[in-house]
Amino acid sequence: MSDARIELRVEERIAYLTICRAEKLNAIDEDMVDALLQACRAIERSDARIAILTGEGAKSFCAGGDIEAWSRLDAGTFSRRWLRDGHDAFDALARLIVPLIAVLNGHALGGGLELAACADLRIAEAHVKIGLPEAGLGIIPGWSGTQRASRRFGAGLVRRMALFGEVFSAEEALALGLVDRVVTTGEGAAAAQIAAARVLQRSARATELTKMLINAAEGEESERVVEALAGAVAASSDDLTEGLAAYRQKRPARFGQ
């Protein structure tokens, strides 16, 4: 990893991804965006079958984009690099081939909620607050807070947070469908371990394919899913074996009917 503030370790088929910047409420700057994207690639190349995402400390899961970092950028750089690079990293997280559990061990505001929206399961500790306060700073929820969050939570709920500034407690978030489970403060990691253990008992290939299909149904990555699934079918066919053999032997292929 190029940035120690995004820590990744893989143990017993579980990838642990932690934002390690508690002194800044786990806010993300440009280098951390790049490191997050690298971490996603590393997870997909590892033997991990499930990933758990959390933030360092107990105050904040992630405070979103580091205001000091993005406020220094001119408008063009903000659009071309900050927003686009952030989308690349968050898209990679949402599209991991393995299921992702987000443990909200602290507040998830702005980009922190956008980060949590990338997960397949969100476990919130009881003290957590959740919202999209960006408009109060004169900016928009720019890392898919209006798009992925609307698909996953519903546009009406996103309107309440992004337009009207509502901030929800963990219990309110559970009732509204923003999180999937609420646990006592300090017990999020243990709850994630239990959920991860259930995933490890299931078929790895079936789980991967099912996640891809759910993402496609949700509009997350329809084009890639269609091609990936078709490619997997083609790669397992006798036609590919024959085609490669013919290529190597410099002869016409004899495909079956």
Could you list the active site residues? 114, 134
What is the rounded CA–CA span in Å between residue 183 and residue 193? 13
Q: What is the per-residue burial (b if ≥16 Cβ within 10 Å, else e) of 45-67?
A: eeebbbbbbbbbbbebbbbbbbe
Q: Report the amino acid identity of residue 227.
A: E
What is the biggest distance separating any 2 CA atoms in the chain, rounded to whole angstroms?
A: 68
Q: Please, are residues 115 and 96 in contact by the beta-carbon 8 Å criterion?
A: no
Do 20 and 27 touch, CB atoms closer than 8 A?
Answer: no
Give me 214's structure tokens: 């759910």
Quote the CA–CA distance of 61 and 55 in Å, as a whole number: 4
**Cα separation of 35 and 52, whole Å?**
16
Alpha-carbon distances of 107 from 25, 89, 110, 207, rounded to whole Å: 9, 21, 10, 30
Q: Are 182 and 124 in contact (CB under 8 A)?
A: yes
Strands 60-62 and 121-125: unpaired
